[in-house]
Structure 1
Amino acid sequence: MKTIEPVLITEKNVTLLGGGTICDRLLHDTIVHAPCLVAADGAAGRALALGHRPERVIGDFDSLTAETRAKIPEERLIHVPEQDSTDFEKCLTRVVAPMIFCVGFTGARIDHELAVYATLTRFPNKRCVILGAEDVCFMAPPELVLRVERGQRVSLFPMAAVTGRSKGLRWPIKGLDFAPDGRIGTSNEAVETEVRLEFDQPGMMVILPRENCDAELVARLIAAPDWPDESSL
């Protein structure tokens, strides 16, 4: 895989803004905890309209208007003209941060949203959470412990062939072969206040109610072990 040089390296958490459905309150609350804002292409216009100036705007600029471009310092504009990747991938692969929170990547075009999940699957070591209207989702690390309430939904959706083990779920996953065209794990449920997940290979997406994306979950994701380097290629 071609080496991509980062255009933003920060110790702060990053809010990545896309062009999908955006809840203004969700964006505001996310920026409070992830104050470094990056906009994917034309989403920069929405950021400015809501009073936020992006630290970087990354994309092929096919949806970035001249009016918006004129309001952003040139050094913050990262034009990536190639058409082999989406604007989301262009952003994700060029930002280095403890955690990236993505707002505005769900709820609009289905093909765009599916492309986001496909990109996450290809880069499982990126600490990245997609924030939707009701749920959050992220690619599972090799091991993760979730603090939850009994009865809470814990959905597992395989984006590749995956096996693993669990503790604290109503329907344990040990011995099951998951695949996007086979067995999936949506609408599982916590029976304990602590759910332990282990996976043998990358590719499992974890989907939780949005209120579970708290500081503890973020800290656990940041501290989780990485997949071997070859799994990101």
Structure 2
Amino acid sequence: MKSKIVHTSGTVLLVGGGATQHSALRAAMADVDAVVAADGGAAVLLDMDILPDAVIGDMDSLSPTMQARLPAGSVHQIAEQDSTDFDKALRNISAPLVLAHGFLGARLDHQLAALTVLCRRAERRCVLVGEDDVTVVLPPALTLALPEGCRVSLFPMGPVSGRSEGLRWPIDGLEMAPDGRVGTSNEAAGGAVRLWVEAPRMLLILPVACLGALLAGLRQAEAWPAP
């Protein structure tokens, strides 16, 4: 098996070059074991006087001047153009959880590419954190403590079905697909929300205020096996 660039038994903060909030990044750093930048995400961190443990990508968005400010040996250039910098970084991180900032917002095409990578690398548990939303590929089973009326959106990235408890509109028996039935704008009915899916193709989208509840649920959930 090919060795990964970053190995940790704790949480990794992965920063991209898209829209980010410095306050959210600093808050995330309080509970992570490593900080990784995907290409231009290094500029975001350097602007905050934060030195990443590793920078991974094709380096087409990071100037030589910026690269010179990084610690020796921290830049890992992957020149191929068949994958995004997010994919390059995520597939080279070995960690139980990755918090990814700077991949939602701004360009829609970049967001869609990031969501595709989430499903392609579903065995690498990664939460995309944006200004308004957080999203993750649903694990096989997940229990969440969410307040009544909380927005719970489910979006299939491929044909998938599942079951639910605690949603205002249950998903039991529904065959969902991106060009068919989707589950956006559902709500928590009060009490625990429990979700089960048959395959790693369902995105869960919650308000960013629910990040803590999502992380608590994920830490108790079984992960998808590696392909």
Fold similarity call, TM over 0.5: yes
Question: Which runs of 5 or more structure 1 residues have no equivalent in the other structure?
Answer: none
Determine helix, strand or coil for the equivalent of 2:73.
Answer: helix
User: Aligned-residue CA RMSD in angstroms?
Assistant: 1.3
Paired position in structure 2 for 1:222: 219
Give 1:179-194 correspondences, 5 Å limit: 179-194=177-192
Contact 2:12-2:99 within 8 A present in 1 as well: yes
CA contact under 8 A between 2:125 and 2:223: conserved in structure 1?
Answer: no
2: CA distance between counterparts of 1:209 and 1:113? Answer: 17
The residue that corresponds to 1:108 in the other structure is 106
1:124 aligned residue (122, 125, 129):
122
> Aligned-pair distance for 1:125?
1.7
Contact 1:127–1:222 (CA<8 Å) still a contact in 2?
no
2:190 aligns to what SS in structure 1? coil
- CA distance in structure 1 between the partners assigned to 2:7 and 2:140 by the alignment: 25
- Alignment coverage as a number of residue pairs: 227
Partners of 2:133 and 2:208 within 8 A in 1: yes
The equivalent residue for 2:205 is 207
CA drift at 1:211: 1.1
Report the TM-score when normalising by structure 2: 0.96
Please show how residues 131-142 of structure 1 align to structure 2 within 5 Å: 131-142=129-140
How far has the Cα of 1:45 moved from its partner? 1.4
CA distance in 1, matches of 2:147, 2:128: 21
The aligned residue for residue 165 of structure 2 is 167
* Map of 2:76 onto structure 1: 78
> Shift of the alpha carbon at 1:228?
4.1
Q: Which residue of 1 aligns with 2:53?
A: 55
Q: Do the aligned partners of 1:4 and 1:93 also contact (CA within 8 Å) in 2?
A: no
The aligned residue for residue 87 of structure 1 is 85
Identity of aligned residues (%): 44
